Amino acid sequence: MSDANLRDDVRATDVAAVRDLVAATGFFNDEEIAIAAELVQERLDRGEASGYEFLFAERDGRLVGYSCYGRIPCSSVSWDLYWIAVHPDLQGSGFGKRLLADTEDRVRAAGGLAVYAETSGRAQYRSTRGFYLRSGYAEGAVFADFYAPGDAKYVFVKRLDR
Q: Which tens digits make up the pLDDT trace of 41-58?
A: 999 999 999 999 999 999
> Which residues have a Cβ under 8 Å from the Cβ of 78 and sit 6 or more positions away?
71, 72, 112, 113, 114, 115, 116
**Structure confidence by residue, pLDDT tens digits, 29-44:** 999 999 999 999 999 9
Q: Which of 11, 57, 14, 54 is nearest to 37 (CA)?
A: 14
What Å distances lie between residue 129 and 32, 142, 147, CA to CA? Answer: 18, 12, 16
Separation between Cα atoms, residue 36 and residue 67, nearest integer Å: 10
Please identify, in words, the CATH class of the domain defined by 5-159: alpha beta
pTM above 0.85, yes or no: yes
The pLDDT of residue 1 is 55
